[in-house]
Amino acid sequence: MRFDVLTLFPEMFSGYMTQSLLKLAIERNLVQIHLHNLRDWSRDKHQCVDDRPFGGGPGMVIKPEPTVEAVEGVQTLGTSPGKLIMLTPQGETLNQQVVERLAKHERLVLLCGRYEGFDQRVCDILQPEELSIGDFVLNGGEVAAMAVIDTVIRLVPGVLGDEESSHVDSFSTGNRLLEHSQYTRPREYRGHQVPEILLSGDHPQIAAWREQNSRERTKSRRPDLLDRTAEN
């Protein structure tokens, strides 16, 4: 799967791309990430890509020409233009169902905003899918783009060692409940014991305990998910 990221701060991705799961996926050629600096499409000798908003007000707006030309230029690279996504607090909120839908594409082009956002004509012309990662305002779309990449690559076949593990992830279509509690050694820590059943080797009983634990956790923390499951 190929990701192209258009950003004013490509260096923000360097540490992220060398973390273990993603690094391995890139080395095994399961995932490719191409970074593009929007400033490279600036027509300005100072590589300026923003300007003051018409009508006044605080902050700066990213100009339409470098943005549209950057996206069009990047989309001509590679074998298909891919799906264009703009990261913005005005977008649809990302959730696991959206992630599952995005993972069906072979290429995602992620456009990260900064400042007061893009000139509206960027959306009018390019018609991107607008996505937000939650009802809060980040300093830019880069962290949100990393969230998209991080969640989508988990569903790319071969990226996770054990393919089953993404199916039981919380919120996924295979499991609309929160994931059950996990324990590892030691069996006792500061008086807190690992539940006996997990040590029993009785796999049907362990599966039943996990299912029950998953339901209880969901009921106390996210009852809205149970309502949604009942509807489906």
Catalytic residue positions, numbered: 89, 116, 154, 169
Instruction: Decide if residue 111 touches ligand ADE (CB under 6 A).
Output: no
Instruction: Decide if residue 138 touches ligand ADE (CB under 6 A).
Output: yes
- φ, ψ dihedrals at 83, nearest 5°: -95, 130
Listed residue (145, 6, 2) closest to 72, CA to CA: 6
CB nearer ligand ADE, residue 64 or residue 89: 89
Q: Which two tokens stand for residue 79?
A: 């074998």
Q: What is the pattern of x (binds ligand ADE, CB under 6 A) and - over residues 44-83?
A: ----------------------------------------
Angstrom CA distances, 225 to 77, 155, 171, 203, 217, stand at 41, 21, 8, 26, 11
Instruction: Decide if residue 132 touches ligand ADE (CB under 6 A).
Output: yes
Q: Is 199 annotated as a binding residue?
A: no
Q: Is 99 annotated as a binding residue?
A: no
The distance of closest approach from Cβ of residue 138 to ligand ADE in the complex, given in angstroms and rounded to an integer, is 4
Q: Is 15 annotated as a binding residue?
A: no
Q: Which stretch binds ligand ADE (CB under 6 A): 34-42, 135-143, 152-160, 188-196?
A: 135-143
Q: Is 44 annotated as a binding residue?
A: no
**Three-state DSSP state, 120:** helix
Q: Is 78 annotated as a binding residue?
A: no
Rg of the chain (C-alpha set)? 22
Q: Is 134 annotated as a binding residue?
A: yes
CB nearer ligand ADE, residue 66 or residue 89: 89
Instruction: Decide if residue 89 touches ligand ADE (CB under 6 A).
Output: yes
Among 87, 102, 153, 159, binds ligand ADE (CB under 6 A): 87
Which residues on adjacent β-strands are paired with residue 175?
172
Cα 33 from chain centre: 13
For the chain, what is the largest distance between any 2 Cα atoms, rounded to a whole number of angstroms? 70
Instruction: Decide if residue 128 touches ligand ADE (CB under 6 A).
Output: no
Cα 85 from chain centre: 11
**Helices assigned H by DSSP within the chain:** 14-17, 20-27, 64-76, 96-102, 120-126, 142-153, 164-167, 203-221, 223-231
The distance of closest approach from Cβ of residue 120 to ligand ADE in the complex, given in angstroms and rounded to an integer, is 16
CB nearer ligand ADE, residue 88 or residue 166: 88
For residues 159 and 31, give the distance between their C-alpha atoms in angstroms, rounded to a whole number.
Answer: 8
Binding site per annotation, positions for S-adenosyl-L-methionine:
113, 133-138
Residues in contact with ligand ADE by CB under 6 A are 87-89, 113, 132-134, 136-138, 140-141, 144
